[in-house]
Amino acid sequence: MREELPIVTARTSISSRETYHKLGIGGYMVFSAGAVEKRFFTWDSHEVEVDDDGFIQQPELWNEQLALALAKTDGVSELTDRHWKVIRYIRGYYHEFEIAPMIRKLCKETGFSLREIYDLFPSGPAKGACKVAGLPKPTGCV
Instruction: Give the model's pLDDT for residue 22.
Output: 45
- Looking at residue 25, its amino acid is I
Residues 6+ apart with CB under 8 A from 42: 6, 7, 8, 9
Instruction: Give the model's pLDDT for residue 4.
Output: 52
Q: Is 36 exposed, middle or buried (0-12, 13-18, 19+ CB in 10 A)?
A: exposed
- Half-sphere CA count of 72, side-chain side, radius 13 A: 22
Residue 141 a catalytic site member = yes
DSSP string for 9-52: EEEEEETTEEEEEEEEES--EEEEETTEEEEEEEETTEEEEE-T
pLDDT class for 82, splitting at 50, 70, 90? very high
Instruction: Give the model's pLDDT for residue 103.
Output: 94
Q: Is the pLDDT of residue 14 over 80?
A: no
Average pLDDT for residues 21-25, to the nearest whole number?
46
Q: Which of 50-59, 67-76, 112-121, 122-131 has the lowest mean pLDDT?
A: 50-59
Instruction: Give the model's pLDDT for residue 40.
Output: 86
- Catalytic position from the list 30, 33, 114, 141: 141
Q: Is the pLDDT of residue 89 over 50?
A: yes
Q: Is the pLDDT of residue 1 over 80?
A: no
pTM of the model: 0.74
Taken in order of first residue, the domains within the chain and their CATH numbers are 7-132 (1.10.10.370)
Average pLDDT for residues 133-139, to the nearest whole number?
89
The rounded Cα 33 to chain-centroid distance in angstroms is 23
